[in-house]
A = this chain, B = another copy of it.
Amino acid sequence: MKLKIVNDSRRAAYARERMAEFAVRCRAAGLPVTPQRMAIIEALLGATDHPRAEKICAEVRRRHPHVSLATVHRTLETLCRIGEARKVTALHDSARYDGNLEPHHHVVCVRCRRIRDVEIAGLDATLGGAIRAPGFKPLGWSLEIQAICDDCANSGERAGRSSETGGVGKTPRN
């Protein structure tokens, strides 16, 4: 198992390719193609630093000074919903704490946001031997498995959203 930092030049080609057909995919998803939307996806694809909404908004405003931060938030969530972007951060919008200090990982239900501990025998040993990230000194790692729990699979009749792993939607307050 070999670890490799994704390089920037390949990323630029990828961004160009994604932009080329973006408008088509928007219309296919039933979404109007607006200048704001184009500017936001362009800013996102042009960044390799996993920016937050405010950063993207600042970038977009260099050409479209009138764009609202609320629009950027809404549009980024929309992009996640149609599978044109991903949220790097977790499925929860408030901090969750764990008293279990033994090595373990997490399964998260993308619908009810429930979290369960899991152990994956062999994984930590495998990763421990494999992770050599140039430019970084690794300290640890954590694996999050996105899933649908049985309760939600059974009770959840409401039509599944196109990209539930995108991390769209609010955390239930439990």
Docked complex Cα distance between A143 and B131 (Å) = 12
Q: How many copies does the complex hold?
A: 2
Interface residue tally on A, bucketed by range: 35 or more
* Residue A95 CB within 8 A of the other chain: yes
Docked complex Cα distance between A157 and B6 (Å) = 28
Interface SS, A side: mixed
Closest B residue to A174 by beta carbon equals B55
Chain B contacts of A145 at CB under 8 A?
Answer: 131, 133, 136, 138, 140-141
Measured CB to CB, the closest approach of chain B to A16, in angstroms, equals 12
Closest B residue to A3 by beta carbon equals B120
Per-residue CB contact flags for chain A residues 102-127 toward chain B (1 = under 8 Å, else 0) read 10101101100011111111110011
Most chain B CB atoms below 10 A, which of A5, A79, A142: A142
| A118/B6 contact (C-beta < 8 A), A11-B100, A50-B97, A136-B149 known | yes
Chain B contacts of A86 at CB under 8 A?
Answer: 97-98, 100-101
Knowing that A4-B118, A50-B97, A88-B96 touch, tell me 12 more A-B residue pairs with CB under 8 angstroms: A1-B121, A1-B122, A6-B116, A49-B174, A54-B94, A76-B97, A89-B90, A107-B138, A133-B145, A133-B147, A136-B148, A137-B148
